[in-house]
Structure 1
Amino acid sequence: MNKKSPITVFVAIGIGAALFFVLGRFVAIPSPVPNTNISLQYGLLAFMAALFGPLAGALIAFIGHALIDFSYGWGVWWSWVIASAVAGLIMGLGTKKISIEKSFGKKEICVFNITQVVAHLIAWGVVAPVLDILIYAEPANKVFTQGLVGGISNIVTTAIVGTLLAIAFSAAKPKTGSLKKEA
């Protein structure tokens, strides 16, 4: 990953959190499980975390998810906000060894998607349900069902949306040495 200036990362966090909010609030697809949506914003999150790093991934998800919950009027559901931040952090950490700015071929796609699967399994299979039980005294069967549905749908949408964003971004970047001086 190329070193980004702190200002660039700060701006990316603001834009990423705003886009995460818009996608999560206005493009959410209801699932058959109550209070669980099929979310497209995690594809954007994986892309942004791969591009700007783990801190940016965590903050984009934390801020964006908190804004989504706040906008619905039921209050912020901190267990899921924290789980989103954990997912963004893991996605950023797992993709540090690849550079989607340079190339995004088969190897990078594999690393990107293995990382996002691990991130979602930890966030929605462990962090969110356990925190729901500890913070809100929610029934285990309910929160693990919500986590399973949310996690699986996030894995699928991230694999599609996130991979397509990274492929498009990588393809649009001029490659080193692609410009030639005319004689």
Structure 2
Amino acid sequence: MNNNKPSSITTLVAVGIGAAVFFVLGRFLSIPSGVPNTSFETTYPFLALMSIVFGPVAGALIGLIGHAIKDLLTYGLWWSWVLSSGVTGFGYGLIGKRLRVRSGEFSKKDIVVFNVGQVVTNLVAWAVVAPVLDILIYSEPANKVFFQGIVSAGMNSVAVGVLGTLLIAAYTKTRTKTASLSKE
């Protein structure tokens, strides 16, 4: 068995715990932005870490389930943004496939790859998918939802760029680098 890849049971547990932490962070550690229905979120840096460690499917499930629980227990389910959280987790997980975080490596080049990828992921999820679904599902005005989406994409990109990079770097330091042990 490859010790570098989490088992399916480990991944399933990570999805459950990740969704719960996503809910707690989203419910209690979000800072309103001043733009209606948008906040500076601490959930997405955490989602980036979990998606990179456990993969795109786990990331998508954590984003979907965590956001759905948060919505259900606060103001009501808003499917367009719940689905966008799933897209975000999936995108972060795809970026993780290019990184060597589980092998204990997160170089400056990896940081650049991660941050370019997460910005693109946030733009796709929040400035395209969320507003388009808002229009299709809820008949929201286009100018309103695209503005909210662009603001959310920007705030999430900054949060993940700073906090996410720090979380991933800290996690990487807990991993043994590949081929770092030698036989005496």
Alignment of 1:4-83 (within 5 A): 4-72=6-74, 74-83=75-84
Distance 1:51 1:179 in 2: 22
Deviations along 1:129-178, whole A, 9 cap, x unmatched? 00000000001111011101111000000011110011011112233455
Q: Which residue of 2 is the match for residue 121 of structure 1?
A: 123
Relative to the length of structure 2, the TM-score reads 0.93
Distance 1:145 1:164 in 2: 28
Shift of 1:181: 7.3
Shift of 1:71: 1.1
Q: Name the SS for the 1:29 alignment partner.
A: strand
Distance 1:168 1:51 in 2: 12
Distance 2:167 2:127 in 1: 25
Alignment of 1:73-152 (within 5 A): 74-102=75-103, 103-152=105-154
User: In 2, are the aligned partners of 1:95 and 1:115 still within 8 Å (CA)?
Assistant: no
Is there any run of 5+ residues in structure 1 with no aligned partner, and where? none
Q: Name the SS for the 1:97 alignment partner.
A: coil
Is there any run of 5+ residues in structure 2 with no aligned partner, and where? none
Specify the code of the residue in structure 2 equivalent to 1:130: V
Distance 1:144 1:84 in 2: 16
Query: What's the Cα RMSD here?
Result: 1.6
Higher mean displacement: 24-33 or 92-101: 92-101
Relative to the length of structure 1, the TM-score reads 0.93
Higher mean displacement: 41-50 or 98-107: 98-107
Percentage of identical aligned residues: 56
Distance 1:84 1:47 in 2: 14
Shift of 1:80: 0.2
Distance 2:176 2:39 in 1: 37
Distance 2:174 2:6 in 1: 19
Shift of 1:127: 0.4
Shift of 1:179: 5.5
Distance 2:13 2:153 in 1: 28
Q: Name the SS for the 1:38 alignment partner.
A: strand
For these two proteins, the number of residue pairs brought into alignment is 181
Specify the code of the residue in structure 1 equivalent to 2:171: F
